[in-house]
A and B are shown apart, each in its own frame.
Chain A
Amino acid sequence: KAGVTQTPRYLIKTRGQQVTLSCSPISGHRSVSWYQQTPGQGLQFLFEYFSETQRNKGNFPGRFSGRQFSNSRSEMNVSTLELGDSALYLCASSRTGTGITDTQYFGPGTRLTVL
């Protein structure tokens, strides 16, 4: 069974640009969560999608957005990039995202560097 895949694995952008990251969850998983990982702030929850609807959102500015498609694949977009957006962006999927028996599986991440 294939794991969570994220594309691209590495990205270099310049300030002011926008970027789109993609995440394909494990087959059968309908919940997709996104996290940002930086040396200074650690791992922070961005948002979670289930059945094409954003169900939870972390404390990030509106420049960070996402969506989920009918096949559960998800994208996140960051507009007007800032230097501080440089981070490892992790995607995680689970079957439903509810219930204590559900487990979240993480992808390898996309390393975004903003110059």
Chain B
Amino acid sequence: AQSVTQLGSHVSVSEGALVLLRCNYSSSVPPYLFWYVQYPNQGLQLLLKYTSAATLVKGINGFEAEFKKSETSFHLTKPSAHMSDAAEYFCAVSPSGSARQLTFGSGTQLTVLP
């Protein structure tokens, strides 16, 4: 079975600093990986997804993620944090590449300090 592990349930960064949110996957087949963001009292919004077309994936709001097979990782980064980035971030994997049945990580709460 496929799964993802998010390292760090809480991450704090200063405004303008690099954001790095970690996600490692476990899969016996090439995975399809996703990053979602959830703002308070809202649903999930797709930031980006990896579908094997390119190892560096660019998403919305300046976020990007790099698929590293050798490290089984798909970490999310943003060069410069903004106060509006404060939210919870979820890494997810799809068993077949389809969008309909996602397995999520436990989430990382990002706090941006002024």
Do residues B104 and A90 form an inter-chain contact, with CB atoms below 8 A?
A: no
A104 to B94, CA, bound (A): 11
Nearest B residue to A108 via CB reads B43
Residues of A within 8 A of B22 (CB): none
Interface residues of A in 88-110 (CB under 8 A from B): 90, 92, 94, 97-109
A4 to B32, CA, bound (A): 23
Q: Does residue A33 face the partner (Cβ distance < 8 Å to B)?
A: yes
Interface size class on chain A is: 20 to 34
Q: Does residue A61 face the partner (Cβ distance < 8 Å to B)?
A: no
Partner of B100, one of A43, A104, A108, A109: A104
Do residues A31 and B97 form an inter-chain contact, with CB atoms below 8 A?
A: no
**Partner-B contacts on A (CB < 8 A):** 4, 31, 33, 35, 42-45, 48, 50, 55-56, 58, 90, 92, 94, 97-109
